[in-house]
A and B are shown apart, each in its own frame.
Chain A
Amino acid sequence: MSETRPESDVEPADAAAERTKPHRRPSPIGSRPLARPRTSPAALAPNTARSGHATAPVHRVSAIARQRRRVALLALAGLALLAAAMLAGICLGENDLSPARALNALFFGTGDRGDVLLVGRFRTPRVLSAVIAGAGLAVAGAVLQRVARNPLASPDVVGITGGASLGATAAVALGLAAPLTPVAALGGGLCAATVLGLLAVQIDGSQAAPRLKGGISPTRLVLVGLAVQAGLTAAVNLFIVRFPAELASSALHWTTGSLYGRNWNETIIGAVTMTAALTAAFALHRRAAVLDLGDDAAGALGVRPGPARLQLLAVAVVLASLAVALTGPVGFVALAVPHLVHRLAGPPTPGTLALNALAGALLLLTADLVAQHALPLDGLPVGVVTATLGAPFLLALMARQNRPDPRTAR
């Protein structure tokens, strides 16, 4: 083979090799229904194989474009559902209002003064808190699972929510004013993450191949995180057991995760800080995508794996802590939403990250509506609902993981 052989030589050789495999036989020219699975061998059709030019065939809809369209459709559907759920959130309650009455009271402040108070003061902050926290939790989970390369990594598993709970419980124990509880939760989450980071790095350092400067290996991160979470849960329980009864019930209520009694101040602070953290998550998306290729490939593309992983980790921690500060440690959302979005929308892109935010908001809000209105029990915290959903989901996930990976079983 000479070095100057034409491009077209490359392809038929391979296409011929492919054709010998019966299951990869190219389909007739032009027959390429969109409904075919993405693994369709139609892409190997001889016409595309021979036209080795820089200009792609006009009729081709690339996998990337197809995914974009899918994400856009899902986002539209998600937005519609979210709008409906938000409307339900401000309408439903002990006094059910008609949508017209509720919206009127919210946006124009007209009508019954009781309505205005009910919708503006109580229901809207609760709905918005659910949206903000749900979005934050889901994106935190998506980022964490990606960085840790572990589908079970989520803020509730690696100790971040545990730290936030401990912070909040400590605040209650010390008799701090109620508005300081979320601040303490945020501080606790960040402290737990720092401890997690230090432990993971130190354990790394004792190995034959130390990775300094924040080089945390994904597996260690999860294992150390499990230990941190277990320790923190024990500490929270200790606090609650030693508390006077009335404080204990207050702390317990907080540590199950609840949207009860959110006010406008908390909601606005949460919205502003969460927007900033979400922006950071989107800004880091491309770096995360390169990091997915493995440390060496990422390094060769100009992404230093250690610092990049730390940045992503920091964003995930802040997102999760802010969410926990607003609602308490609501489980399941951060774990499940990224999996659902991955199944529906395919491999991660900025679009799927946005879908994560949307789906997280929708899930948390819906769970809260269910907890408030659809169950016979009164005053059930939303965390109980999500945790009840979460346990079977986690088991199903593990069962699926235990099946042989189709990629390795080739």
Chain B
Amino acid sequence: MTNAPNAITAENLRIGYGRHTIVADLDLTLPGGRVTAIVGPNACGKSTLLRGLARLIAPAAGTVAIDGDDVHRMSARALARRLGLLPQQPVAPEGISVEALVRLGRYPHQRALRPWSAADSAAVETALVRTGTAALRDLPVDHLSGGQRQRAWIALALAQDTPLLLLDEPTTFLDLRHQLDVLDLVSELNATADRTVVMVLHDLGQAARYADHLVVMRDGAPAAVGPPADVLTAELVEDVFGVPCRVVPDPETGTPLVVPRASARHRRP
């Protein structure tokens, strides 16, 4: 599995802000061509890890490599042609239209004297169509609903056309319908284009359903790594999240479903 292209590997990675270390001495390989979900309690370093993998924070120590190529030796632009990242709650510039936003995804592919090519146009059109935002293209991003806005940003990341895509909490603040839309889109992208997808999620059931590979983080270190069916046990969830629970098979998919134990007051007689 790790031999598939576009795997991302962290070795001895230590990341922090100033003297405050968030992620310490992490060794982690995220398999190529698969969907990986990173889960964990709040402030466990999920987003920091994602930002570190995308080189948005310089690590205090260690390396991050894509298929063995050290990301810190690539130019910013070269990295941006291999790896895209959708930040948590991005804010679009005032008044910018969906199409203009998505066009910015082509930045790493453009050169100084060749401003806009047919390939750029094609990538933007594909991204708009695949995310279902083609009909919204002329609307200002700040007039869209939360779900539409999130899809517009995913379209930007798609236009960037990278084999590796990192998504930081892509479903936060979306209602269930739009959460599922985003997750379906993500797994479709993975299935049709063989993209490696790494996303931070909060819902363990969704993570188990949509991810091939699960990383459970606790205090800046992985507490468990592997296929959701192996990793997600009642002991682990209680251990990491402090929530007593049962893990039952999802009646729809058979993937693990975490059901918190009811307090005595709510228990059925």
Within 104-154 of B, Cβ neighbours of A (below 8 Å) are at: 104-105, 107-108, 110, 112, 115, 122, 125-126, 129-132, 134-140, 142-143, 145, 147-148
A397 to chain B, nearest CB (A): 15
CA distance A178 to B253 in the complex (A): 83
Bound complex: CA A197 to CA B71 (Å): 29
**A407 to B78, alpha carbons, bound, how many Å?**
35
B13 to chain A, nearest CB (A): 17
A159 to B80, CA, bound (A): 36
> Is A301 among interface residues, defined by CB-CB distance under 8 A?
yes
> B100's contact among A5, A39, A64, A296, by CB below 8 Å, is which?
A64
A5 to B180, CA, bound (A): 14
Known: A63-B137, A289-B104. A209 touches B132 (CB 8 A): no
The stretch of A12-20, A179-187, A222-230, A353-361 in contact with B is A12-20
Please tell me if B181 contacts chain A, counting CB pairs below 8 Å: yes
Interface size on B, residues (CB 8 A): 70
Is B140 in contact with A39, judged by CB distance below 8 angstroms? yes
Q: Is A294 touching B87 in the complex (CB atoms < 8 A)?
A: yes
Whether B138 pairs with A286 at a CB distance below 8 angstroms is no
| Residue numbers in A under 8 Å from B55 (CB-CB) | 299
Name the contact of B129 in the complex, choosing from A5, A17, A52, A346 (C-beta under 8 A).
Answer: A52
A302 B126 Cβ-Cβ under 8 A: no
- A-side contacts of B99, CB under 8 Å: 62-64
| Interface stretch of the complex, out of A41-49, A82-90, A318-326, A332-340 | A41-49
Interface: B96 (CB within 8 A): yes
A14 and B147 contacting across the interface, CB-CB below 8 Å: yes
Contact with A along B75-115 (1 / 0, CB 8 A): 11111110111110011111111011101110110101001
Q: Is B241 an interface residue (CB 8 A)?
A: no
Contact segment of B25-33, B184-192, B219-227, B229-237: B184-192
Which residues does chain A contribute within 8 Å of B188, judged by CB atoms?
3-5
B20 interface contact, C-beta 8 A: yes
In the complex, the answer to whether A208 meets B138 with C-beta atoms within 8 Å is no
List B residues 198-235 near A (Cβ within 8 Å).
Answer: none
Verify if B173 is at the interface (C-beta below 8 Å from A).
no
Flag if B76 contacts A63 (CB, 8 Å). Answer: no
Q: Which residues of B contact A294 (CB under 8 A)?
A: 87, 90-91
- Nearest B-chain residue to A290, judged by Cβ: B107
Given known contacts A1-B184, A54-B125, A293-B93, A300 and B132 CB-to-CB distance under 8 angstroms: no
Residue A266 lies at the interface, judged by CB distance under 8 Å to chain B: no
Are A208 and B20 in contact, CB atoms less than 8 angstroms apart?
A: yes
Asked if residues A14 and B97 are in contact (CB atoms below 8 Å), the reply is no
A348 to B95, CA, bound (A): 9
Minimal Cβ-Cβ distance residue in B for A42: B138
Contact of A301 among B20, B104, B135, B191 (CB under 8 A): B104
Q: Contact: A43 with B137, CB < 8 Å?
A: yes
CB pair A48–B76 under 8 Å, yes or no, is: no
Tell me whether chain A's interface is mostly helix, strand or loop, or mixed. Answer: loop
**Cβ of A404: which chain B residues have Cβ within 8 Å of it?**
none
B95/A286 in contact, CB under 8 A: no
Known: A7-B130, A286-B110. A302 touches B76 (CB 8 A): yes
Contact of B87 among A7, A39, A289, A297 (CB under 8 A): A297
Contacts of A52 in B (CB 8 A): 129, 132, 134
Determine if B18 and A209 form an interchain contact, defined as CB atoms under 8 angstroms apart: yes
Known A-B contacts A52-B134, A293-B93, A407-B142; the reply to A13 vs B181 at CB < 8 A is yes
Q: Does B246 contact A (CB under 8 A)?
A: no
- A39 pairs with B107, CB closer than 8 A: no
Question: In the bound complex, do residue A48 and residue B134 qualify as a contact, i.e. CB atoms below 8 Å apart?
Answer: yes
A contact residues around B107 at 8 Å (CB): 286, 290, 301-303
Q: Does A38 contact B (CB under 8 A)?
A: yes
Task: Tell me the bound Cα distance from A42 to B69 in angstroms.
Answer: 47
The CB with the most chain B CB atoms within 10 A, among A55, A208, A289, is that of: A289
Determine if B43 is an interface residue (Cβ-Cβ < 8 Å).
no
For the complex, give the distance between the alpha carbons of A303 and B79 in Å.
10
Q: Known: A296-B87, A302-B76, A347-B94. Is A56-B125 also a contact (CB below 8 A)?
A: yes
Closest to B77 in A: A302
Which residues of B are found within 8 Å of A10, using beta-carbon distances?
131-132, 181, 185
Residue of B nearest to A307 (CB): B76
Residues in A with CB closer than 8 Å to B104 are 289-290, 293, 301
Residues on A with C-beta less than 8 A from B9 are: none
Q: Are A296 and B85 in contact (CB under 8 A)?
A: yes
Query: A63 CA to B20 CA in the complex, in Å?
Result: 46
A96 at the interface (CB under 8 A from B): no
Q: How far is the CA of A55 from the CA of B128 in the complex (A)?
A: 11
Could you tell me if B191 and A4 are in contact, using CB atoms closer than 8 angstroms? yes
Complex interface: chain B residues within 8 A of A48 (CB): 134-135
Cα(A11)–Cα(B55), bound, Å: 35
Question: Beta-carbon contacts of A388-410 to B below 8 Å, as 1s and 0s?
Answer: 00000000000000000001000
Contacts known (A63-B137, A64-B100, A299-B54); A7 close to B129, Cβ less than 8 A: yes
Assembled-state Cα–Cα distance A11/B185 (Å) = 12
- Select B80's contact among A7, A55, A289, A302, beta carbons within 8 Å: A302
Can you list 27 A-B contacts (CB < 8 A)?
A1-B184, A3-B192, A5-B188, A7-B132, A10-B131, A11-B135, A15-B135, A39-B139, A43-B138, A48-B134, A54-B129, A56-B125, A63-B97, A209-B18, A286-B110, A286-B115, A293-B90, A293-B93, A293-B101, A296-B56, A296-B85, A296-B87, A299-B55, A299-B56, A300-B54, A300-B56, A301-B84
| 4 tightest A-B CB contacts, nearest first | A302-B80, A10-B132, A300-B85, A296-B87
Extra contacts, 10 of them, besides A293-B93, A300-B54, A301-B160 (Cβ < 8 A), are: A7-B130, A11-B134, A18-B145, A43-B139, A48-B134, A52-B129, A62-B97, A63-B99, A293-B91, A301-B105
Chain A residues packing against B (C-beta within 8 Å): 1, 3-5, 7, 10-11, 13-15, 17-18, 38-39, 43-45, 48-49, 52-56, 62-64, 208-210, 283, 286, 289-290, 292-297, 299-304, 346-348, 407
